[in-house]
Structure 1
Amino acid sequence: MSREVFSGRYTADVDGADITVFLIGMRANRWWRLGRVARIASRMGPMLKHLAEHADAGLLGSESWFGRTTILVSYWQSPEHLQRFAADRDAPHLEPWREFQKSFAGSGDVGVWHETYQVRPGDSEAVYSDMPLFGLAAASAHVKIGPGRNTARQRLGR
């Protein structure tokens, strides 16, 4: 996939909406147990595919990085959308989570973590300089920085 680089400075415009930021990842504590690590890591792809195919689930966008410790940063319409997905018996999350708890949790082979943040309008700002569409701007609106948005203070509305 080609990712066009937008020259200049851009910001994200969430149009006055609350945004839920969800960080999730895993850590290969015992990298030599590659099979177990790969089995857990393989569960994220179907979840993201499901979310891409079901816009009503509330995922606005995401970015991910892989290494010994992985991270997925995702942007959601609300914490309720996130919680509804996590508990949905028809979505591809609940069963893998139960399997992890039963077969892997406590083994020390793979660590799993997440953090959730509720961001109110005016409590976030973003700048993207000479970047492809990315992060919150990809999940909301990608806006060229101009008068009134030049500084972080202005973008925060302060």
Structure 2
Amino acid sequence: MTELTTHQHDGDLAVFLIGARVNRLWRPDGWLPAFAAMGPMLAELWKDPSSGFLHARTVIDGDLRGVTVIQYWRSAEDIYRYANAEDHSHRPAWLAFYRRAKKVPGAVTIWHETYSVPAGGHESLYGDAPKPIGLARATGSIPARRRGRTARERIRSQVRPEN
């Protein structure tokens, strides 16, 4: 029998996708610093639970020229606070990227997408996962039967704040 689990989180959350794609392989001076900047930022976030950062994983894009980091956060406001904090790694890295992009235009694409997901707007299902993955890795996992058999039941089971 397949063991089915779901993520443990009931409240609001944010999913942040950030990526980079090499456009000009022959210009590592334009793209390598952008790739290198992500590691220190993630290390900083892993060390600071108060930032609102919950978890991240990195995937290599299908064309092998880019990466995407999938991040889970407590809220979109936590993402914005981190991104604009002058005493954290992101803001200086972002400013350096803009300066470099003027010298080597088009060498790299940097992109991000932010999804603010309200309570009751997310559900998950993991079958026979030997360890938590995805949102369950960020928030913990519970047996799926505690929330419902179907995706619709799991969405409905979440606690929604009163309006």
Query: Shorter-chain TM-score: which interval?
Result: 0.7 to 0.9
Counterpart of 1:116 in structure 2 is: 114
Opposite residue 39 of structure 1, the aligned amino acid is P
Tell me which moved more, 136-145 or 99-108.
Answer: 99-108
Counterpart of 2:8 in structure 1 is: 13
| Aligned mates of 2:85, 2:32 — CA distance in 1 | 24
Q: Does 1:98 align with 2:83?
A: no
| Aligned mates of 1:89, 1:69 — CA distance in 2 | 27
Counterpart of 1:157 in structure 2 is: 156
Tell me: CA distance 1:30–1:153, structure 2 relative to 1, closer, same or farther (3 Å): same
Does the 8 Å CA contact 2:5/2:144 hold for their aligned counterparts?
Answer: yes
Q: Which residues of structure 1 form unaligned runs of 5+? A: 1-6
Give the share of equivalent positions with the same residue, in percent.
34
Counterpart of 1:58 in structure 2 is: 52
| Aligned mates of 1:151, 1:12 — CA distance in 2 | 14
Q: Does 1:41 align with 2:35?
A: yes
1:130 to 117, 128, 134: 128
Equivalenced residues, count: 151
| Aligned mates of 2:44, 2:146 — CA distance in 1 | 40
| Aligned mates of 1:99, 1:18 — CA distance in 2 | 33
Q: Which runs of 4+ in 1 moved over 4 A?
A: none
Q: Which residues of structure 2 form unaligned runs of 5+? A: 158-163
More strand by share: 1
